[in-house]
Amino acid sequence: MRVLIIEDEHLAAEKLKSMIADIDSTCQVLEVLDSVESSIEWLGQHEHPDVILSDIHLADGTCFNIYSTVDVTCPIIFTTAYDKYAIQAFEVNSIDYLLKPVQQDRLAQAMEKCKANSAASTERSQQLFNEFKQLLLQSNKEYKSRFLCKLGNKIKSVPSASIRYFYSQNKMTFIVDQANQRLPVNNTLDEIDQMMDPDQFFRINRKYIISYSGIDEIHPYFKGRLKLKLNPHIDDDIIVSTERSPIFKAWLDR
């Protein structure tokens, strides 16, 4: 497998090269490029590799400037130390997004999936590219600061800062605030997920979006899952799946 590394941190690039050699000694690292400009030039002059390991934030811009200039057809495995929007956007079984520091077993899994199904990997890489680009366009987005809720004959405005979690039940969506008020809201969880600041809110499963301040306790659970206790308390098992647990831990550890 022919690999191109786009990484502007020398030590990170050297670590990737070492891990690739350990994973598969037949892999050939064609080049290590450290900028948008040099990557565009190289890709314009050489046959494209079998896979690209690409950092997102480079010294002279984001890697998307490369891929919007050059038509890259090979799979791309994105690597980055920090991207607050992307962390919550992708499932861990994606072969195309690895958080730094990159773990060798995760890199091995990603490369193996690229080998096994290069066509599907290419399609997934293009999908990720489009989604990442959209996420970066939202980087200056203003997130929702208040929700208007109807409570009996009254209308109440709830500040987002006071919300501890959202949950869905019987095709309705509810807010739970710090005072343990449970208020219906006229938005789906999918809509709310796009409205809230991802630094403060995380969608742990199909039923719950929680705020950082709404987490009371976290416990290991079966098969790599996590079980949460929320504050205010709710009589439900709050489970983070095996697939989302690593992303959730990364969100907690920023």
List pLDDT tens digits, range 10-27: 888 999 999 999 998 899
> Is 165 in the same domain as 112?
no
- Which of 137, 164, 196 corresponds to the end of one domain? 137
**Pairwise CA distance, residues 224 & 244, whole Å:** 10
The share of the chain scoring above pLDDT 90, in percent, equals 45
> Is 43 in the same domain as 122?
yes
Cα 227 → chain centroid: 21
pLDDT single digits (tens) 123-148 = 655 666 666 666 555 555 678 999 99
> Is 6 in the same domain as 132?
yes
Report pLDDT for 81: 66
Helix (H) or strand (E) holding 125: helix 118-137
Least Cα distance to 2 among 23, 22, 30 occurs for: 30
Report pLDDT for 14: 92
Residue 253: how many CA atoms within 13 Å on its side-chain side?
10
> Is 182 in the same domain as 223?
yes
Would you say residue 177 has pLDDT above 50?
yes
**Pairwise CA distance, residues 94 & 106, whole Å:** 10
> Is 15 in the same domain as 126?
yes
Domain count, the chain: 2
> Is 117 in the same domain as 150?
no
> Is 116 in the same domain as 165?
no
Neighbouring CB atoms inside 10 A of 58's CB total: 22
**Pairwise CA distance, residues 163 & 57, whole Å:** 32
> Which region among 6-20, 131-145, 190-204, 229-243 has the lowest average model confidence (pLDDT)?
131-145
**Phi–psi pair at 93, nearest 5 degrees:** -85, 0
> Is 22 in the same domain as 113?
yes
- Which of 137, 159, 191 corresponds to the end of one domain? 137
> Is 14 in the same domain as 131?
yes
> Is 129 in the same domain as 195?
no
Report pLDDT for 55: 86
Q: Look up the domain containing 180 and give its range.
A: 146-252
**Confidence band (pLDDT; 50, 70, 90) for 221?**
very high
**Pairwise CA distance, residues 113 & 122, whole Å:** 11
- Which of 87, 104, 137 corresponds to the end of one domain? 137
Would you say residue 3 has pLDDT above 70?
yes
Six-digit token string for 86:
């992307």
